[in-house]
Amino acid sequence: MDKMSSRIKVLALLVALMFVALSTRLWFLQVLATTQFQQQARDNSVRFVYTEPLRGLMYDDRGRPLVGNQESLEVRVNRDAMGTQAEAVVYRLAHLLNVPVRMLVARLQTNRYYSFQPIPVAEFVPPHVRDYIAEYQELFPGVDVVPTSVRAYPQGRTAAHILGYVSPIFAGEYDRLKNKGYQQSDVIGHSGLEQVYERFLRGSQGIQKFIVNSNGETIRALGVKAPTAGDDLHLTIDLRIQRAAERELADELARARSGHDINGLPLKANAGAVIVMDAQTGAIKAMASLPSYDPRWLVRGLTKSEADYLYKSAAAPSLNRAIQLGYVPGSTFKPITALAALKEGFATLGGYYTCDATYTHPGDTSGTVFHNWTTANLGTMSLAKAITISCDTVFDGFGSKFYFSYVQNQLSDSGLLLQNDLRELGFGAPTGIDLPSEGSGLIPDPAWAKTRPDLFPDGWVPGGDILTMIGSTYMMATPLQLAQAYSAIANGGHLCRPHVVDQVVAPDGTVVKRAEDRCNRTIPYPPTDLAYIRGALGSVITSGTAQCSFSGFPTSQVWVGGKTGTAERPPHQDTSWFAAMAGHNPNAPKYVVIAMVEQGGFGAEAAAPIARHVIEDIYHLPNNGQGGCAVGDR
């Protein structure tokens, strides 16, 4: 019994000692070793490796590829992994890549990446570079060659301004984008459709999670999320018509430079734009702007000369002149203001008007005289005839009536009938096309005049309305705004919102987004007035200012109506314009074609031949090489 009691006492003592030891150890872990284990916990952290998804593709209206993806072998350097061999590795790698050491060092010194993130330092390296680094990996610690996906442009520079390009996120953009899942090393759309449809094209990144220790060694993987490819864009652009528009514009710019302006100086014809729009739907079939650039430059990296040309040269090739810049529209504006004169009762379908060589506003004592493009008095004529031969002084008279209306309405905004009518036709505001940085143009009015005392020291004067009537001096419109207004004339009065994307389609074929009805806005003009203007535009081709430019054109096969425009732009040479509509049905022309050449001379001289040849290309008609004519139409 005594032995049993002694054993129990010994066992109890051992248990007590064990509890004391465990309590001591627990106290040590929770109190004394807290700092140590917090540091170890920090040393073991979760790292994320992101896998870029394949970016969505772009196709024309018949499924022909415009933008794709291609594989590039990319050299990436992990600065931490180079360790003490960093200097030697950089020298070896610079020699292998045949780039200056200072350039490679500059790329590695970027603050765009965390220290543990691999930094891309070279793209499109040949396979032998990949093989050499793999074979001698001990000489290149921290250096990997990995396949990546970059943009491909199978049509070259065709439609560059429409498609846009992707490039690395700018330093100032990251704070805005990081909450949307972007990493500092990502690329993003920076112009054209790449920018506007970024959220569809991008897709979703793949993510791999790893626990790593303070030495960067992986302890274990936590999980993987596969990337999801971006959505594809199916455009309204017709590749064949797009190529034709770019070709005809380039050819005419070169041809026009052999001509001369009214002072006998060689025409500079330095830039231009062409738009082909489906007048019945608002779909853009072609949009050309020159000078242009090659988006493939942005894929492989710009050389200094390419960067200077793209961003610093006077040519400004990155600008889309079809939508971003406003121009004085010249006489292409007369059909627009003729509609306004009809609407307000200042002109009638059966009226006749005097086309003198000069015009003076009634009651004006300032001595201001407005001149027609010809010094001859052409007698009285109908409104249609005034459009056909482009008589300025007939429209000057309408401008006076608009000004008198403003005065009679006690100088209130409600009396700005001309300006209000122009806004109803889409001028003075962006059209809403799905492309970035669209311009608004300018409708001159009294409010604007107050901001320009240098031009209007006495406030709004009759000349403001008179010059606006003929699209001169202060009035500014983009080629796209003109295309929208002419389309409304062609389709019977529906102001269509232009668009270049027809459908957004997911990788599984599901339609994510579809172009809505873009022609549901009606302009307040009766069908008789619109038909009258279309008839006048047809006469411009057969017996007016564009007759010589369209000599021999088979109008019995394809009806064409149009208007020439020659806009003065001192100190520059005149801007050449032509606005056309064409189709098998003259009562509902299918297409509107706008051509504009900066410093190209008369409208019939440079722009009209472009429009003619594009229409011939659209309808597969023979191109007879008909040139332009020096016909006045200011």
Phi/psi for 79 (5° steps) reads -60, -40
Cβ-Cβ contacts under 8 Å for 603 (sequence gap 6 or more): 330, 331, 332, 545, 546, 563, 564, 565, 566, 576, 577, 578, 631, 633
pLDDT at residue 172, as a whole number: 75
Encode pLDDT of 115-147 as tens digits. Answer: 666 788 888 889 999 999 988 898 999 999 888
pLDDT at residue 8, as a whole number: 66
The domain locations on the chain are: 47-235, 239-307+523-618, 330-491
Q: DSSP for 356-398?
A: -SEE--TT--S---EE-SSSS---EEEHHHHHHHT-HHHHHHH
- Among 32-46, 222-236, 323-337, 411-425, name the most confident range: 323-337
% of the chain at pLDDT higher than 70: 89
- Higher per-residue pLDDT: 52 or 104: 104
Whole-Å CA distances, 621 to 589, 616, 617: 17, 5, 6
Region 328-352: mean pLDDT is 97
Encode pLDDT of 380-391 as tens digits. Answer: 999 999 999 999
Position 1 pLDDT exceeds 60: no
Q: DSSP for 273-320?
A: EEEEEETTT-BEEEEEEES---THHHHH---HHHHHHHHTSTT-TTS-
- Which residues on adjacent β-strands are paired with residue 224? 208
Position 233 pLDDT exceeds 70: yes
Position 14 pLDDT exceeds 90: no
- Higher per-residue pLDDT: 418 or 226: 418
The pTM of this model reads: 0.86
pLDDT band, very low/low/confident/very high, at 223 (cuts 50, 70, 90): low
Encode pLDDT of 550-572 as tens digits. Answer: 999 999 999 999 999 999 999 99
Q: Which of 19-23, 161-165, 230-234, 616-620 has the least mean pLDDT?
A: 19-23
Position 26 pLDDT exceeds 60: no
Instruction: Please give the Cα distance from 492 to 528 (Å, whole number).
Output: 9
What integer best gives the mean pLDDT of the chain?
A: 89
Question: Could you give the 3-state DSSP secondary structure of residue 221?
Answer: strand
Phi/psi for 126 (5° steps) reads -70, 160
Position 33 pLDDT exceeds 60: no
Tokens of 321: 């002149």
In CATH terms, 47-235 corresponds, of 3.90.1310.10, 3.20.19.10, 3.40.50.300, 3.40.109.10, to 3.90.1310.10
pLDDT band, very low/low/confident/very high, at 28 (cuts 50, 70, 90): very low
pLDDT at residue 239, as a whole number: 98
Tokens of 40: 């170890």
Position 162 pLDDT exceeds 60: yes
Whose tokens are 């765009």? That residue is 112
Encode pLDDT of 418-441 as tens digits. Answer: 999 999 999 999 999 999 999 999
Position 220 pLDDT exceeds 70: no
563 contacts 468 by C-beta, under 8 angstroms: no
550 contacts 557 by C-beta, under 8 angstroms: no
- Higher per-residue pLDDT: 118 or 243: 243
- Higher per-residue pLDDT: 593 or 78: 593
The CATH class of 239-307+523-618 is alpha beta
- Which residues on adjacent β-strands are paired with residue 67? 58
pLDDT at residue 30, as a whole number: 57
Tokens of 199: 């959220």
Fill in the amino acid letter for 378: L
Region 240-262: mean pLDDT is 96
Instruction: Please give the Cα distance from 358 to 66 (Å, whole number).
Output: 52
pLDDT band, very low/low/confident/very high, at 168 (cuts 50, 70, 90): confident
Q: What is the CA 321 to chain-centroid distance, rounded?
A: 9
pLDDT at residue 74, as a whole number: 86
Position 32 pLDDT exceeds 50: no
Instruction: Please give the Cα distance from 236 to 518 (Å, whole number).
Output: 13
541 contacts 553 by C-beta, under 8 angstroms: yes
Q: Which of 129-143, 228-242, 374-388, 458-472 has the least mean pLDDT?
A: 129-143
CATH number attached to the domain at 330-491: 3.40.710.10
- Higher per-residue pLDDT: 168 or 488: 488
Region 10-19: mean pLDDT is 62
Position 332 pLDDT exceeds 90: yes
Tokens of 515: 């172009």
Tokens of 78: 């992990």
